[in-house]
Structures are given as C-alpha cells and as structure tokens.
C-alpha cells in the first residue's frame, strides 16, 4: 500500500522543493519505489531532475488529456510526473471542472499501489493544486526554516488542512514539520526551534531530524541532480537519509 505525502507551505523559499525532491531520493536510496509529483508552475523539481519541455505533464494528466504512463518520466530510480510553466492556465481550466478537488486523486487511483511512497511538491499557495494534493494525500509535511517569521502562514495551512479533513479527506494527517537550513551554532536558530517545540499545538509534530545548512543542497538542483547524486557524503545527504528513516519508522507499518 502506498503512502502519499503532500509537501506544502504557502510561503515561498521555505525549502519545500528541496524537501520533496531529496526526501523522495532518500526513500529511493532505501530501496523504496517512489513517485514524485510536481504541482508548481515554477517547475523547480522537474528542472532539478533535468526534465523540461515535455508534451504531457501534471496538467494534461489531471484534465484527462493523457494517460498516466504518457506523463510519467524517469530519473535514475525515481518516477516523476513533471510540471509545466503553463500550469496557471490549467488551473483556470481545472477550476471549472465538476469535482475539481478530486482530479489528482482520480489520476492516481489505479497506479498508486505501484509505489511505496508518493511525494507531492505543492506550489507556494493554497489554490486548487494544493487542495488536490491534500485531498489525495494520507499525510502532509510542512518544511520550515529556522528563521524569523517562520510561523507566518502556518496557521493558514493548518486551517485549510482541517477543512479538507472535515469536508473532503477524513484520513488526512499532519505528518510533521521538518526544520530546514538549521544551524546549531546560531543562537537565533536555537531560539526558533525552542519556540516551535514549546507550542502546545504543534510542538510534538516536529521531526527529530533537522536538515542542516548545506550549500550542496542548493548546488545539486542547479546541476539537475538530487543530493545523493551530487554529494552523497554531504551533511544534506546524511540528514535526508535520517529523515527518510524516521518517516519509514513512523509510517511503514500503517
């Protein structure tokens, strides 16, 4: 049975794509069958895997203009449904579709059990693509940097997820918040972590694994590689392997 994770944050620059891409790559390194889905019109995850200018993508798939096997792409040991920079046009079309919140779920219904994990990279908004992701997912992950204003938008994400749970997907759960670009030597980072951990609503939902600041994580995507291809012995690779193992321990038996 597949486990579907939505990686979501409506604030840009939070490490969302870095998390989705390298968590998926880490799970693949652990011999899991992984499908990545790019729902962001910026196409960052698709570009990071060297995939661009495709005829079929997540937009054509959700609109029923192609089959799953026509949209899926391969990168090493990972499957990917890529995005397109025209996704905003598809968003307009999708918004006119009956049952528009369920389009992605329908696309995956027949193929989801081919994979152990499906990781969805959402756009930095809470529009119809992000809603589709939450309706489809079993769990959602919120990446958050250990910086000032880290909480901005978090309440909104949790409110929207709660509405999706009540109205559209009763099985949706918050898997956790993963702290990105963490630097233990900086007192401010420590203060942000302490502040989050002391929060009565979300303090227990922080992943033990923190992804440390590592320039290799930025450089790897520029070279169209995951961190495991670009710098397999780096801090970033080590942290994402630990995060993948933590997620496996929590969810492999569910």
For the entire predicted model, the pTM comes to 0.94
Domains assigned to the chain: 3-251 (3.40.50.300)
Overall average pLDDT of the 223-235 stretch: 94
pLDDT digits (tens, 9 = 90+) for 172-221: 999 999 998 877 666 766 777 777 777 767 778 889 999 998 999 999 98
Q: What is the pLDDT of residue 186?
A: 64
- Interval 21-64: pLDDT, tens: 999 999 999 999 999 999 999 999 999 999 988 999 999 999 99
pLDDT band at 151 (very low <50, low <70, confident <90, very high): low
Q: Are 120 and 21 in contact (CB under 8 A)?
A: no
In the prediction, which pLDDT does 76 show? 87
- On average, the pLDDT of the chain sits at 91
């Amino acid at each position: 049975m597949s486990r579907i994770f939505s990686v979501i944050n409506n604030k840009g620059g939070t490490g969302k794509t870095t998390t989705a891409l390298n968590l998926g790559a880490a799970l693949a390194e652990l011999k899991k069958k992984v499908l990545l889905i790019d729902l962001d019109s910026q196409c960052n995850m698709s570009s990071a895997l060297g995939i661009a200018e495709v005829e079929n993508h997540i937009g054509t798939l959700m609109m029923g203009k192609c089959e799953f096997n026509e949209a899926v792409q391969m990168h090493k040991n990972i499957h990917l449904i890529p995005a397109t920079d025209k996704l905003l046009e598809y968003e307009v079309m999708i918004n006119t579709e009956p049952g528009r919140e369920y389009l992605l779920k329908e696309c995956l219904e027949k193929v989801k059990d081919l994979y152990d994990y499906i990781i969805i990279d959402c756009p930095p908004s809470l529009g119809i693509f992000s809603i589709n992701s939450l309706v489809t997912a079993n769990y959602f992950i919120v990446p958050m940097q250990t910086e000032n204003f880290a909480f901005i938008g978090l309440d909104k994400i949790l409110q929207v997820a709660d509405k999706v749970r009540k109205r559209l997907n009763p099985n949706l759960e918050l898997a956790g918040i993963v702290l990105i670009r963490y630097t233990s030597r900086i007192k401010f980072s420590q203060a942000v972590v302490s502040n989050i951990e002391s929060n009565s609503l979300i303090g227990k939902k922080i992943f033990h694994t923190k992804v440390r600041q590592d320039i290799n994580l930025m450089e790897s995507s520029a070279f169209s590689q995951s961190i495991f291809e670009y710098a397999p012995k780096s801090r970033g690779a080590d942290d994402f392997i630990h995060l993948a193992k933590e997620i496996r321990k929590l969810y492999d038996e569910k």
